[in-house]
Structure 1
Amino acid sequence: MFKKVLIAEDADFMSSGIKVALKDIQIPIVEYAQYCDEAFLKLKKACLDNEPFDLLVSDLSFKDNINPQRLQSGEELIAEAKKLQPTLKTVVFSVEDKPYRIKQLCNELEVDAYVWKSNHGQKELKKAVQLAYNNEFFITPQLAHALRDKEAFEVTDYDVFLLQHLAEGLDQKEISEELKNNKIKPSSISSVEKRLKLLKESFNANNLTQLIAITKDFGLI
């Protein structure tokens, strides 16, 4: 089993629960960082001391700090940590449940596990850590569909076109006309409606306004 694990989590009560879960599976050294910059410095110092961490367990979002932070999110922390220590195992422990976001994190960051903070989160975290040690991937079962359903979560140039014009204030009929003007198919109003509906489902958006906000946050538009 892993000998040395670092937790990056800003909520004290949550980090305490994670520590208990890791101690339950006989991990002797469990350290904690409240912010991403602090976590990265701990990782760097451990490498310099030739006593590197085996595993990083990180949340994705962190509350604002009065001191400016270079690394603003768990995603940035994991990316930098892997550059520093390519062999470092990484587990995401987050409330984030948007399918597109999960797929992006798993595919681009190549994390070893994605655990959803839920009623069974700590139990699943223990399982995820044990599987990561054995070089096996884990994702919370309720979120596994995010990695299986390709059609729903592949954002295409066509989708970006729809989203950009939607963000500019065009309605679906006007977007249909723009598609026709640019000789982009499918261009019918029904096709636009169906694709926007699929995008709303993929991003867990309740309406088109929320869809625009979410995709802007992802940097898609």
Structure 2
Amino acid sequence: MKSNSLKFLLSAGLFLLPAMSLQAGLNATLQVDINCYFQAKTGISGGVESGQVGVVRLDSKQLLTLIGKEKGIKFANGTLLMVSDDAVVFVADAQGNSIMDVSNLVKIVFRKGHELLHGKVNLTNGKEDSRTYYPISLTFNLTTLKGSLDGIGIEDRLTTAPDGDGVQIIRGNTDCSVNGKGLVNGGSGFYEGTINLKGRNASVQ
């Protein structure tokens, strides 16, 4: 199924129509799982109208393959798609070391400023145990994948108080259900799925 889906994405014109920033100090692995629904068949026979809906699935591995084709690179197994604390999307090796910035091809926007906060944040030492709700958009600017998906992100964050050396551990996990609409293989389509961001970093106060 995955190889067939990828072949479809590479051969078809896929367009998604219609922004997330983790707090400072946290790089997160980006996982996407998106279903693209399109009208595969329609017909009328004997006074009965019938149709068949097709589905193409896009995950992070397939998205990395599309980015690699755009860049003329075949990424090694274990390569990750990651988002920095200032919303730069980049390709990283299995250890999380940046290989290249791809934010011109895949863009994430965290629309914070009017978010809903549940929990506590210590404004003096940065200790935090919170859940935050805010709008998110994921935008693609690839040859075979263009447009955006929108949703509401739910971010759980746990930051320890600084230890004796001023080091604090930051853990974050963001889940977001997203949807959109656009064109698949020249026809109209609908899109729904999930975005997940997960990271763990150590920072020095």
Q: TM-score, normalised by structure 1?
A: 0.24
More strand by share: 2
More helix by share: 1
Q: Which has the higher contact order (CA 8 A, sep 6+)?
A: 2
